[in-house]
Structure 1
Amino acid sequence: MPVDVTTSYAPLLRRIHWATAVLFIAAMLIGLYCGLQPPGTSPRRELLEVHKSLGMTVFFLSILRLMVRVSTRVPPEPSSFAWLVRAAARLNHVALYLILFAMPLTGYAFSSAGGYSLRYFWTFSWPRVVADNPAVAHAGEVTHDALAWFVYAVVALHIAATIWHAVVMRDGVLARMWPRSESGER
């Protein structure tokens, strides 16, 4: 079935969206698991390296996503959207964008200031732009941990709204961002 590209986001934006979603949820679940483990234990240490690497990947994908988003056309919203649905969707998307930047930055700040590892998937280390400072490390960690609860709520709301649009409303909102094969693109 041919795809109506006038009602879909750009193919690159859709790919970045889904890559970001998978990596972000993986980082979120690893972070949650590590938060439940005693400090300094294995596999917590190793998983935190993966968590931080995923976070930095999400950060740079988010920059790319924002660049693609502002340079491509946004498909029109379904006419069935009431003003409240439209406002809630926009607010949720703004919150998601803020989270995609705030979580990696606060994680980086507290790792850097706390003297923790800044290795990227065991290959190289990110530069430390925040000097060793226990107060900054503590503030960054508290902020990162507090934001995590906000993340869970916003991501759950985003997923619930997507399911509601797909199953209850059947208004094509999910199809606007759903990945497609190249043969389905026009």
Structure 2
Amino acid sequence: MERYTKTAILIHWLTALLIIAAFTLGLVMTDIPGLTPTKLKYYSWHKWMGITVLALAVIRVLWRKANRPPAHPASMSALQAKAADGMHYFLYFLIFAVPITGYLYTTAAGVPVVYLGLFQIPSLFAADPALKEILKPVHYWLNMIMAAAVAAHVLAALKHHFIDRDSVLKRMLP
């Protein structure tokens, strides 16, 4: 069985965990009323996770260019292979788009992004309340679409493992 590289597996699972954590934290923090120290701390953590996901996405794309992923199983139809490739490209798009729109939304709100409390990510533009109102739902809906796409990705992997009984899931497991 051809497998993904250990580096690709590590980046995949680390990215997945960070996305789930950032998504969950995003839901929790936005439900906290008012502006509390806890809410501000959660927003900072959410931003740190988003920036880390974005950095991992860049590393992941570079790694994938240098290290081809395993071929689809011979038992997979051409249509399934195209659907799998399409879903992967869509997930890559979302892995970039969600943190970028979050960063742009934060910048438009006039709030600095200070990564891990160590350094400030430069703002590309000044606060813009009108742009903030556009970016808020864009960031939210991209997150909801990502949640649905991740669920579909997981269900497809489980289908391959339990129904098709092929190596699709096993080749990405640590």
Instruction: Return the TM-score normalized by structure 1.
Output: 0.88
Residue aligning to 2:45: 50
Pairwise CA distance, 1:55: 0.3
* CA deviation profile, 1:120-141 (whole Å, cap 9, x unmatched): 1222211111221111222121
Residue aligning to 1:149: 144
Deviates more, 1:44-53 or 1:115-124: 115-124
Q: Unaligned stretches of 5+ in structure 1?
A: 180-186
Query: For residues 100-179 of structure 1, what are the structure 2 equivalents within 5 Å?
Result: 100-179=95-174
Give identity over the alignment, percent. 35
Residue aligning to 1:184: none
Q: Unaligned stretches of 5+ in structure 2?
A: none
Larger relative CO (CA 8 A, sep 6+): 1 or 2?
1
SS state of the match for residue 125, structure 1? strand
State the aligned residue count.
174
> 2:81 and 2:37 mapped to 1: Cα distance?
45
Equivalent residue for 2:83, pick from 85, 88, 111: 88
Instruction: Return the TM-score normalized by structure 2.
Output: 0.94
Deviates more, 1:170-179 or 1:62-71: 170-179
Residue aligning to 1:61: 56
Pairwise CA distance, 1:27: 0.7
> 2:125 and 2:133 mapped to 1: Cα distance?
13
